[in-house]
Chains A and B, each alone.
Chain A
Amino acid sequence: MDCTTVSSRVAAFLDGEMDAGECERFVLHIEGCDPCTRLVAKLEAQRFAPLSGEEKVAICGRVEFWGDMDSVLDTHMDQMVLAKTACLGPWYSRRIGLPVPMIAAYAAAMVLAVVWGLQQQDRAATAELTTEHLGQQLEQERRLAAQPAPIPEQGKTAYKVVNYTPERGTF
């Protein structure tokens, strides 16, 4: 361990937060290094003077100390419980992080979107079938139009052959 490492680990050493191996290396270094020994001694003498338990009780042990805060926080909690929002809402709202009406609206929108999508798919399929059918019809008609009209065989005609005589006028 060198002096730089010692100066960056000295607080952990004094607070007893250093593991055994590192602590051993730390002690080994400061035993042979005067500046580091002096630094550790100076920091060991530092006193922070935090409030004692009794002093803390004397400050905020009185019931009325938290009175104002309690009433304000009570009102907030009531509002948030009623609104069923944030960490005071029901579990599903807390997990998903949204209020119930928003979740319901989102779910409804999703269902509507799926139904609309299915309907559109249905319509598209029907339209495709119709187009195909019409195409086939047109193709058939085109083929029929391209073929020459069949010549009926003699003696098997379904119509009567008459001679045209202009004097007789119309048929």
Chain B
Amino acid sequence: MTASLRLMNPSTTSDWSEADIKRYAASNPRAGMEMVIKKYREPLYFHARYIVKDHQEAYDVVQEVFIKAMREQRLFNDEFKIKAWLFRVTSNLCFNQVRNRKRRGAILDTMMKPEAFGADQIETIFAGEQRNEVMAALGKLSEDHKEILILRYYDDLSYSEIADVLQVKLGTVMSRLSRARVRLLDVVQDSELDN
């Protein structure tokens, strides 16, 4: 990252609104892009990390998302929703990654095998007992349900932001989220019965 961005105080990144970034990008697109990266790389990393359940894969996905963002002509257009677009692309790339992994037959569910990563500080933080149980149950849900639950309860997006990411109506967000929670409840109850 350039010196200008390094000098920016990281605590201020959340204060930058999309409108501020676009205004800044109008005169200096590169600085605008750097602001986008600085503001969204962390939430995107955790979003990806919850889906792919692997640090390196999540890291690579986020990097790819920003490269795609640089190639996106409309990124700094007034009506363009940067956050929603970034989360949507991240979700798509993550689910592609998971599908490819399954197709290759190398299913590596790190959340279900925390002991394999016990030494790693990152994996240790992710490997809380309760977190593991819920994540294991999330893994059994459909992509739609899993995505909406992660967006709401892990990435802390509002309902309208989720509607923008998924490109659906607010009512659809409400009903899909409710169905996903009910389904998750069933999965948890089933696994408790199995144990």
Contacts and interface: CB of A to CB of B under 8 A. Distances in A.
> Do these two chains interact?
yes
Interface of A: 7-12, 15, 17, 39, 42-43, 46-51, 55-56, 58-60, 66, 68-70, 72-74, 76-77, 80-81, 85-89, 91, 94, 97
B185 A42 contact: yes
A10 B178 contact: yes
Contact of A12 (B128, B178, B184): B178
Interface string B32-47: 1110010001100110
A7 B42 contact: no
A73 B67 contact: yes
Contacts of B33: 77, 87-88
Contact of B177 (A11, A68, A69, A72): A11
Contacts of A81: 29-30
A48 B149 contact: yes
Nearest to B36: A87
A91 B154 CA distance: 36
Contacts of B73: 86-87, 94, 97
Given A48-B134, A51-B126, A69-B63, A12 B181 contact: no
B62 A10 contact: no
A49 B25 contact: no
Contact of B181 (A46, A72, A85, A89): A46
A43 B134 CA distance: 13
Contacts of B62: 69
B67 A49 contact: no
B181 A50 contact: no
A12 B125 CA distance: 30
B1 A74 contact: yes
Interface in B32-71: 32-34, 37, 41-42, 45-46, 59, 62-63, 66-67, 69-71
B178 A55 contact: no
A55 to B, nearest CB: 5
Given A59-B125, A87-B25, A69 B41 contact: yes
Given A47-B130, A49-B134, A66-B41, A86 B178 contact: no
Interface string B129-141: 0110010000000
B156 interface: yes
A50 B41 contact: no
A8 B175 CA distance: 4
Contacts of A68: 59
A56 B174 contact: no
B187 to A, nearest CB: 11
A87 B70 contact: yes
B149 to A, nearest CB: 7
Contact of A43 (B2, B32, B156, B185): B185
A45 to B, nearest CB: 9
Contact of B153 (A50, A58, A73): A50
26 contacts: A7-B179, A8-B174, A9-B175, A9-B178, A11-B180, A11-B181, A15-B159, A17-B158, A46-B184, A46-B185, A47-B134, A49-B134, A50-B153, A51-B126, A59-B121, A66-B41, A73-B70, A76-B67, A77-B33, A87-B25, A87-B69, A88-B29, A88-B30, A89-B29, A97-B73, A97-B74
B26 interface: yes
A17 B159 contact: yes
